[in-house]
Amino acid sequence: MLRDAPNAQKAALLDGLKSTSCAVPDLCELQRVCIDGYGQHVAALSETERAKGLLANHGDAAEASRALDYARSELAEAAPKIAHCADAEGAARRKYKP
């Protein structure tokens, strides 16, 4: 669900995932892996929005550039974590599928 959600909805869905209690160790690990990857992804999206705001309001272009560079780097770093989340989710679905 989080993976397929529009970027604007990812932060709220991530908050929901963070607030979900967990009792099964391998599912708790899945939750941790996904929170890690999507947390980084959502933070990068936030930096992208901050950069857009700076540019739209005639803010510091150099700061906007730094924010975009940081966001780009964080998105690249988050991508393999999100892929790992998707793989782990698939494994969990296969394991727990009735």
Residue 35: pLDDT band (50, 70, 90) is very high
Q: Which residues lie below 8 Å from residue 17, measured CB to CB, with a gap of 6+?
A: 2, 31, 34, 35, 38
- Domains of the chain: total: 1
Q: Is 11 within a domain?
A: no
Structure tokens at 23: 């009792």
- Over residues 36-91, the pLDDT tens digits come to 999 999 999 999 999 999 889 888 889 999 999 999 999 999 999 999 999 999 99
Which domain range does residue 92 map to? 23-96
Asked, for residue 55, whether it belongs to a domain, the answer is yes
- Answer whether residue 18 is part of any domain: no
Encoded tokens for 57: 């309001």
- Write down the pLDDT at residue 97: 86
The pTM for the full model equals 0.89
If one counts every other C-beta atom within 10 angstroms of the C-beta of residue 61, the result is 11
6 inside domain: no
Instruction: Place 2 in a pLDDT band, splitting at 50, 70 and 90.
Output: confident
